[in-house]
């Protein structure tokens, strides 16, 4: 068992290395090793490889790691293998915030008032998405009156998701120019990740991973059921709140930089459980690594499949992740 777990981590590390090299070589002209070596020798190397491809590749890896971690936390917290990081209203909150910023101009003319609209349009899309994600989760927590009951949390999350999506739809009715931007956000995009994004994502990951490790035993104890976990001396409401904050922060950070990338948070923990199941102390770390590899692979594919055009990365993660889950479903024994 230990050997399998170690092997999986090594495999993910190797895959990361290979894909990062691929990410440096893949670009606007598709995949060509000759083109890459030529580029490296040319004057544009610093700009194209150093300033664009390198941070984008690293950023995709970091975003995937955050989403994988968040997905594992969500699945452990709700003891449901279908849970994903967007459960508690973070996706709809971020999407609403993005639409609000995109529609700021029209909203200003229609009752919001020019000064408020001006402020709104100056807020960056990144900051708005992050605030929106956290806001969505906060709304869910308020509706569920704290992190007391898992079922209430889930229901509140669904309600908040539906309501915020409806408000977002209303905004796009009033300001149809926000529709395209919204669609791009919902499909996810790694195209705008620079070194500053990497710094934010990296710091977030560096803070989130140890915190997740410390809380991992809570997730293990939850396997026994909530009452048993409480009887083991765990202050469940507070620990659950801490896990939800971790979930919200990791998801919010990932979503603000790369949009609503589907399936990474859902599929990464499944991948880990399939090959090397274990206690959450291991699963959280491995899910982060698996998510990172998944999103990075999707990013490289997005850039090279129909070059010089780019596919939205969310489409590819859905294809990869969805196919993988489909295979899992087929292989599952009837027990």
Partner 1 sequence: MTQATAPSARALWRLLLVACLLAPAWVGAAPPQRIVSLVPGLTESLCALGACARLVGTDRYSNWPSEVQALPKLGGLDDAQVERIAALRPDLVLAAPSARAVQRLEALGLRVIVLHTRSHQDVRHNLLRLGAELGDEARAQQVWRQIEAQMAEAAARVPAALRGRSVYFEVESSPYAAGPTSFIGETLVQLGLNNIVPAALGPFPKLSPEFVVRAQPELVIAEARNLQDMAQRPGWAALRALQRQRLCSFPTERYEVLVRPGPRMGLAALQLADCLAAIGKDQGMDAR
Partner 2 sequence: MTAALRAQDLSVALGGTPVLHGVSVDLPPGWTAIIGPNGAGKSTLLRALAGLLPRQGGQVWLQGRPLDDWSVRERAQRIAWLAQQGQAQGDLTVRELVHLGRLPHLGLFGTPGPQDEHRVDAAMQATECADWQHRRLQQLSGGERQRCLLARVLAVGAPVLLLDEPTTHLDPPHQVAVVRLLQGLARQGTVASVLHDLPLALQADQVLLMRAGRVVACAAHDDPQLHAAICEVFEHAVRIQRVGGRYIALPHLD
- Can you give the binding site for partner 1, defined by CB under 8 A? 27-28, 44, 47-48, 51-53, 56, 101-102, 104-106, 109-110, 121, 124-126, 173-176, 180-181, 183-185, 189, 191-192, 194, 196, 308-310, 312
CB under 8 Å to 98, separation ≥6 — which residues? 125, 128, 129, 132, 181, 182, 185
- Nearer to partner 2 (CB atom), residue 30 or residue 281: 281
Residues whose CB falls within 8 Å of the CB of residue 285, separated by 6 or more in sequence, listed in order: 9, 209, 213
H-type alpha helices, 175-235? 178-187, 195-222, 226-231
Residue from 37, 38, 231, 309 touching partner 2 (CB under 8 A): that is: 231
Q: H-helix or E-strand containing 55?
A: helix 54-77
Q: Which of 31, 19, 8, 13 is nearest to 58 (CA)?
A: 19
* Residue (of 191, 181, 203) closest to 253 by Cα position: 203
We find the least distance from the C-beta atom of residue 114 to partner 1, in angstroms, to be 13
CB of 32 to partner 1, least distance (A): 14
Rounded-to-integer distance, Cα 78 and Cα 124, Å = 33
Which of these ranges, 49-57, 129-137, 166-174, 274-282, lies near partner 2 under the rule CB under 8 A? 274-282
CA dihedral over 70, 72, 73, 74, signed as positive or negative? positive
The dihedral built from the CA positions of residue 282, 285, 287 and 293, taken in this order, carries a sign that is: negative
For residue 225, the partner it binds in partner 1, partner 2, none, with Cβ less than 5 to 8 A by kind, is: partner 2
CB 129 within 8 A of CB 137: no
The 10 Å Cβ neighbour count of residue 127 is 12
Q: How far apart are CA 321 and CA 11, in angstroms?
A: 18
Choose the stretch contacting partner 2; rule: CB under 8 A; options: 111-119, 143-151, 247-255, 277-285.
Answer: 277-285
Q: Considering CB distances under 5 to 8 angstroms, the limit depending on partner class, which of partner 1, partner 2, none binds residue 214?
A: partner 2
Greatest CA separation for the chain: 65
**Which of the choices partner 1, partner 2, none does residue 224 contact, using the CB cut-off of 5 to 8 A by kind?**
partner 2
Rounded to an integer, what distance in angstroms lies between the CA atom of residue 171 and that of residue 254?
24
Residue 53 binding target from partner 2, partner 1, none, CB below 5 to 8 Å by type: partner 1
In this chain, which stretch among 153-161, 177-185, 225-233, 252-260 interacts with partner 2, using CB under 8 A? 225-233
Site string for partner 2, 192-221 (x = CB under 8 A): ----------------------xx-xx-xx
Question: Which option in partner 2, partner 1, none does residue 240 bind, with CB closer than 5 to 8 A by kind?
Answer: none
What region, left, alpha or beta, does residue 113 occupy, with left being phi > 0 and alpha being psi -120 to 50 degrees? left
Looking at beta carbons only, is 35 or 322 nearer to partner 1?
A: 35
Nearer to partner 1, 123 or 207 (CB): 123
Spatial separation of the C-alpha atoms in residues 198 and 202, rounded to whole Å: 6
Shortest Cβ distance from residue 110 to partner 1 (Å)? Answer: 5
Q: Which is nearer to partner 1, 109 or 206 (CB)?
A: 109
Q: Toward partner 2, which CB reaches closer, 152 or 273?
A: 273
Binding-site partner at residue 277 among partner 1, partner 2, none, CB < 5 to 8 Å by type:
partner 2
Question: Which of partner 1, partner 2, none lies near 196, with the C-beta cut-off 5 to 8 A by kind?
Answer: partner 1
Q: Would you list the DSSP string of 15-32? A: HHHHHHHHHHH-BTTB--
Q: Which spans of this chain sit near partner 2 (rule: CB under 8 A)?
A: 1, 214-215, 217-218, 220-221, 223-225, 227-228, 230-235, 239, 273, 277-279, 283
């Amino acid at each position: 068992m230990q050997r399998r777990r170690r092997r999986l981590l090594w495999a993910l590390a190797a895959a990361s290395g290979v894909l990062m090299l691929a990410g440096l070589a893949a670009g606007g002209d598709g995949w060509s090793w000759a083109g890459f070596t030529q580029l490296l020798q040319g004057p544009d190397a610093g700009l194209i490889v150093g300033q664009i491809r390198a941070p984008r590749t690293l950023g995709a890896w970091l975003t995937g790691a955050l989403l994988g971690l968040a997905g594992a936390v969500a699945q452990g917290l709700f003891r449901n293998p279908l849970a994903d990081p967007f459960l508690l209203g973070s996706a709809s909150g971020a999407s609403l915030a993005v639409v609000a910023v995109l529609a700021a101009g029209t909203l200003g003319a229609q009752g919001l008032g020019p000064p408020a609209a001006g402020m709104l349009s100056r807020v960056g899309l990144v900051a708005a998405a992050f605030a929106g994600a956290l806001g969505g989760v906060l709304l869910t927590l308020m509706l569920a009156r704290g992190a007391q009951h898992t079922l209430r949390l889930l229901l509140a999350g669904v309600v908040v998701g539906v309501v915020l999506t409806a408000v977002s739809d209303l905004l796009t009715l009033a300001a149809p120019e926000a529709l395209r931007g919204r669609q791009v956000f919902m499909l996810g995009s790694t195209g705008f990740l620079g070194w500053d994004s990497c710094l934010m994502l990296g710091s977030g990951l560096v803070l989130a991973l140890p915190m997740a490790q410390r809380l991992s035993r809570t997730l293990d104890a939850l396997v026994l059921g909530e009452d048993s976990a409480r009887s083991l001396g765990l202050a469940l409401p507070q620990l659950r709140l801490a896990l939800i904050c971790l979930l919200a922060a990791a998801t919010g950070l990932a979503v603000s930089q790369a949009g609503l990338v589907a399936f990474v948070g859902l599929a990464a923990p499944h991948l880990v459980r399939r090959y090397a199941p274990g206690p959450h102390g291991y699963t959280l770390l491995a899910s982060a690594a698996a998510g990172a590899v998944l999103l990075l692979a999707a990013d490289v594919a997005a850039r090279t499949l129909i070059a010089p055009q780019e596919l939205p990365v969310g489409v590819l993660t859905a294809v990869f992740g969805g196919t993988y889950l489909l295979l899992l479903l087929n292989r599952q024994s009837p027990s």
